[in-house]
Every structure is written in structure tokens, then in C-alpha cells.
Structure 1
Amino acid sequence: MKIKFIIICLLFVFISSCKDNAEITSDTIENAEAMVTKKNGLKGAWELKGFYNYQDNVVVDSFENNTLSRQIKMYTDTKVMWCKLLKTDSIEFFGYGSYTYDDGVLTEVLEFGSAFMNEVIEEQQEFVFQFELGPDRFEQIEIDEDGNRIYSENYVRIE
């Protein structure tokens, strides 16, 4: 009888330890994926695909980037550069600077840009957005002075 009890106890310990290891493995994988996304998640080339308009912090309208323009953003470990092609107008449109992102906030500090952007940069160098990053997409969300969402630019990874 004692041997059966010991065997049952050992069997129970073995089964429960297998379950715990599976949970730890799953949690470990999720944490590792989150760390990779955090560390290298924004690095690469992205294309603007659409916009959301917000009212009371809720999306009330969405639309795709039209075929008259194309906007690309490229991020290295510390630098950002974006350019916009306007097919109806040959005016240049780009910006270059540095960036950081953490805890749902993307901050871009532009150093220089196209003639139009240099005028903007004279007034404001730093641009702060709410930020939502997925494996192959991100949203940079413009916030008003009260912290309410106004609109977002929605990007997809192209490299």
C-alpha cells in the first residue's frame, strides 16, 4: 500500500511539473518575442497605408492613402527619415532626424528637411505621438493638448 501511495505521489509530481514547464516555456517565448519587438521592432522601412480620424478617442473615420501620394519612413537604430512622393506636384517633401520610443510614446526630433519642412522645423523640432507597434504595422497617433486622440497615420512594414 505504501508503494502505491509513493508511486501515485511521484506520478502526480511528474504530471504537474510537466504542466508548469509548458507554461514557463510559453511565457518565456512571449517575453522573448516582446523583447525582440521592443528592441528591433521599428527598425526598417514602412509605408503609409491609411489614416484614422478620432472623436472622443474613438475611431470615427478611416481612409486609405490615395494613389496620388506615397509616403515611406525608414528607421535605423537611432535615426528616422521619411519622404513623400506627390505625383501631382514635383515639390520635394522629406524630413530627417532622430527618434526614441518607449511605453507607447514615439518621439521624433527633426534636424532638417525639405524647404517646407525646414519652415515647420523652425517652429517645432520635436513631434510626440502615441504609438502602437505590431510585428508588421504601427500607428502614430496625434494627440491634442488635452491628451485626446485626433488622427493617426497607419504604416505597414515593407522591409
Structure 2
Amino acid sequence: MKKILGLVFLVFIFISTAWYAPPKPETMHSIEGTWELQSFYSYDDGVNISDTVPKADGYRQVKMYYNGKVMWTRYVPQDSVEWFGYGQYKVTPDSLIETLEYASSSMMSALDTLRVFRFELDITERTYSQISFDEEGNRTFSENYVRID
């Protein structure tokens, strides 16, 4: 009788574990695709958003991420200077790292020697923010994008 009860108990445990599926970990959203800038945030205290600045009328900034490559372009109606860049990117669960390979001459002169950009990344399926931070790790401002493709 003990053997039968033990066997029934083992079968019960086996069946109950077969139906149990552990919760799936939250999947990381993909940044691959085309994104358009919508606004900027300012962080005065390094933590909380202190101001939201919409993009100016006619201003467009689009970024495209695909297969480890990033390309972006900016159009400012009142500015005849060209702004674009191309390079590589890497995403971790909480950061975006872009390494610029080449860019418009105006961008290259504005960069001086800076070619690697590290951002805190806040991403969903339809939006993402690339958040800049200072030397102490405090947030300073962000660019906020919406997926367009």
C-alpha cells in the first residue's frame, strides 16, 4: 500500500510540474527600426524631469538602427548646415552606446574628438529615450523618440 501511495504521490508531483510554467522574463524591446525625435527632457536635479521641450516647428531628426549600424539625420528649417552621422551601436538592457564612424563636416567639427556616445536607455515597443548623464552619473537631458517604422 505504501508503494502505491508513493507512486501516486510521485505521479501527482510529475503532472503538477508539467503544467507549471515559470513566468517568462520580460523581453528586451528591440531598437532596430526607424525612430523620429519628438521632444527633449531636462533634469535639473539629475533624477527627475524638470522640463519637457517639444521639437521646433519643421525640425526633424530621424535615427535608423539595423544590424549593429546606426544612421541619423537632422533637418532644421532655419539652418542651411547639414547634420548627419553614421556608425555602430550596441544595446544592453539599460544602455545605448553609439560609436560614430563618420558624419557631416559640421557634426565632426562640433564633436572635436568625441566619437563614442553613451546613454541610459529607456525603451518600449513604440518609444525610447536616450538619456545623457554627467561625470557623476546624474541625468542631464534626454532625446525622446517614437517608432515610425
Indicate the residue corresponding to 2:27 in structure 1: 34
RMSD: 2.4
- Cα deviation, 1:77-102, whole Å, max 9, x if unaligned, reads 21001000111222211011001111
Give the unaligned 5+ runs of structure 1: 1-5
Report runs of 4+ in structure 1 exceeding 6 Å deviation.
none
TM-score between the two structures when normalised by the length of structure 2: 0.82
Structure 1 residue 158 and structure 2 residue 148: aligned? yes
Aligned 8 A contact 1:95 1:113 in 2? yes
Give the unaligned 5+ runs of structure 2: none
- Cα deviation, 1:7-65, whole Å, max 9, x if unaligned, reads xx99xx69x949x63xx27x23xx3x605x2xxx1000000001110022110111211
Structure 1 residue 83 and structure 2 residue 105: aligned? no
Aligned 8 A contact 1:45 1:157 in 2? yes
1:149 to 139, 145, 149: 139
Structure 1 residue 92 and structure 2 residue 85: aligned? no
1:46 to 22, 35, 44: 35
What SS does structure 2 have at the residue aligned with 1:123? Answer: coil
Aligned 8 A contact 1:68 1:88 in 2? no
Count of aligned pairs: 140
Aligned 8 A contact 1:112 1:121 in 2? no
Give the structure with the higher percent helix. 1
TM-score between the two structures when normalised by the length of structure 1: 0.78
